[in-house]
Amino acid sequence: MEEEEGEEYLFKIVIIGDSAVGKSNLLSRYSRNEFNLHSKATIGVEFQTQSIDIHGKEVKAQIWDTAGQERFRAVTSAYYRGAVGALIVYDISRRTTFDSVHRWLDELNTHSDTTVAKMLIGNKCDLENIRDVSVEEGKSLAESEGLFFMETSALDATNVRMAFEIVIKEIYNNVSRKVLNSDSYKAELSLNRVSLVNDGTDGSKQIPNKYSCC
């Protein structure tokens, strides 16, 4: 995460979850509005950068995608280093991918050294006819772990933009709060020449609902 002149933000967000849950397609849907029915398993690491406007500030999200398959993964610690947001993805039509969520959360917690805005994503909600994990189960896991929750479909684009943007806005709020509470900010305040941060309004109020489903 970087901050320049108080005007530009760059947030690193990681996408994690078992192989074939749809991580790469969520990213391509969000960054290029593309979906690939026959996408290949990711090897190594890829990332895309996406900009959004929050309170008139340009916020860039650098979104990292890696292999769900262990044998294709790059160095784990490097993948997580500096991440301030995470999407933990499972496939609502395959329970085993939901069962793995704890493992992914453990790995994330082990490697992260800062506050991470986390969202649990139940992807492929277009596959209602072969659903294997209920919405309630997703919600309740998210609640017990303190995560945001959404069901998405990279195929028909349901909730994809919303999911990424809630995470980005939450990161922005975390950073703003941190800056507002920091000694350097307070020192600047006392000198009455603050130009660094936003007005401190709580952007989470703009998020209509912590839980959203297909």
Closest CA to 47 of 85, 70, 79: 79
Do 87 and 125 meet the contact criterion of CB atoms below 8 Å apart? no
Angle at 204 between CA 203 and CA 209, to 5 degrees: 140
Cβ-based nearer residue to ligand GTP, 20 or 180: 20
CB of 184 to ligand GTP, least distance (A): 40
- CB closer to ligand GTP, 23 vs 169: 23
Q: How far is the CB of 106 from ligand GTP (least distance, A)?
A: 18
Minimum distance of Mg ion from residue 49's CB (angstroms): 18
Helix (H, G, I), strand (E, B) or coil at 9: strand
Nearer to ligand GTP, 9 or 104 (CB): 104
* Burial zone of 121 (CB within 10 Å; 0-12 exposed, 13-18 middle, 19+ buried): buried
What whole-number distance in Å separates Cα of residue 41 and Cα of residue 23? 10
Provide the minimum distance between the beta carbon of 144 and ligand GTP in the complex, in angstroms, as a whole number. Answer: 24
Tell me the C-alpha distance between 109 and 105, whole Å.
6
> Which of the choices Mg ion, ligand GTP, none does residue 212 contact, using the CB cut-off of 5 to 8 A by kind?
none
CB burial readout 157-180, b (16+ within 10 A) else e: ebbbebbbbbbbbbbbbbbbeebe
CB 31 within 8 A of CB 191: no
Least separation in angstroms between CB 38 and ligand GTP: 6
Which 9-38 residues touch Mg ion, going by CB under 5 A? 23-24
Nearer to ligand GTP, 71 or 205 (CB): 71
Number of shown-chain residues binding ligand GTP (CB under 6 A): 23
Among 3, 46, 107, 126, binds ligand GTP (CB under 6 A): 126
Q: Name the residues that contact ligand GTP, by CB under 6 A.
A: 19-25, 36-39, 41-42, 67-69, 123-124, 126-127, 153-155
